Structure 1
């Protein structure tokens, strides 16, 4: 049996494209710590860094048959890690901006007796989301709860971007029409992004 630790990255890449599990294990053992260190330097969070590296290696294995590495394997892994980190940072920024907006709105409107408290509003909205048709509900939750883009949802569900966009718009329209007591300002803060 060959000793995989003696193989070059190029040889391991060829074997990986043939879905050789031992080659994948060697690549994982060879580069995990280096990719983790690189990710941790950017994120400064142990759990998030481990998640990013795990995701990169999972994708590498799942897409190994169609792998097209025109650069060195290490370069491919560095680029994959960087892209995952940038996506994570962007998602967290959207989430943090959203939470800041909701907090600011609630703080500004605490003197208004006609405004529901945050939990009441979220409970009402969640109840309406649960009443949506199953496919629309799935698309809406992927968009608003999992923070996936229309393109990511379309790819995940094997449908067009336009279908995703239309389903999200319809869901928003349905929920807004069913909750007329929720002021339009807070509706915008919660759902539109």
Structure 2
């Protein structure tokens, strides 16, 4: 039998589609370094590059049956990585634009209005909405916002990836924002920012 390292990419794809873990390992070993260099050139962040590659290779394993056996593997991986980088850049741009608009709103809001807000009621209302989140999402969100743990610290504590932590926090914010529309916006948003 031909060793995995001597197999062609197309053979490895066919084996991967059959859920062959050694074929996946060979693909990972063959392409990880090149993909890391490619992604790092665009992101300039070791942590984000590694998270993105973890997501990329996880997706390769999970969606192996969807890959055409005749696909050029290197091209498939480069395209998938590039798309993930563009998505991440867009998410970061949206986040930065959002933070800038919040800061502008806060700076333009009369300070006397903010001082009149009943902070205890506000925190109580937000906490009630947080309690309605799915259990794992709530745990991650509270570790981030209440215990001020970094994504890396949460990932280590819960034995999950940084990317999972990041996605769970984004999903929690996506769920919570519409539900707190009745709460004074500037203060509510400030509680979510770190």
Using the size of structure 1 for normalisation, the TM-score is: 0.67
Q: Is residue 176 of structure 1 aligned with residue 181 of structure 2?
A: yes
- Distance between the aligned counterparts of 1:127 and 1:46, measured in 2? 34
Kindly report which structure 2 residues correspond to 1:18-57, keeping only aligned pairs within 5 A, or say none: 18-57=18-57
- Distance between the aligned counterparts of 2:46 and 2:133, measured in 1? 39
Structure 1: tracts of 5 or more residues without a match: 151-167
Q: Which has the higher contact order (CA 8 A, sep 6+)?
A: 2
1:130-182 CA distances to partner (integer Å, 9 max, x unpaired)? 365869x98xx99994159x9xxxxxxxxxxxxxxxxx69x83x5334x3xx2
- Distance between the aligned counterparts of 1:82 and 1:122, measured in 2? 42
* CA apart distance, 1:106: 1.6
Cα distance change on mapping 1:16 and 1:22 into 2, 3 Å: same
Cα distance change on mapping 1:65 and 1:134 into 2, 3 Å: closer
How many residue pairs are counted as aligned between the two chains?
A: 162
- Distance between the aligned counterparts of 2:57 and 2:168, measured in 1? 27
Moved more, 99-108 or 78-87: 99-108
Q: What do you get for the CA RMSD once the two structures are aligned?
A: 3.8
Other structure's SS at 1:90 match? helix
* CA apart distance, 1:99: 1.0
1:112-133 CA distances to partner (integer Å, 9 max, x unpaired)? 2121599x59745622423658
* CA apart distance, 1:63: 1.4
Q: Is the 8 A contact 1:10 1:73 kept in 2?
A: yes
1:3-27 CA distances to partner (integer Å, 9 max, x unpaired)? 1111111111111111111111111
- Distance between the aligned counterparts of 1:104 and 1:58, measured in 2? 39
> After the TM superposition, which segments of 4 or more aligned residues of structure 1 sit over 6 Å from their partners?
141-144, 185-191
Using the size of structure 2 for normalisation, the TM-score is: 0.67
Match of 2:149 in 1: none
Q: Is the 8 A contact 1:31 1:74 kept in 2?
A: yes
Match of 2:2 in 1: 2
Q: Is the 8 A contact 1:105 1:186 kept in 2?
A: no
Q: Is the 8 A contact 2:14 2:69 kept in 1?
A: no
Match of 2:90 in 1: 90
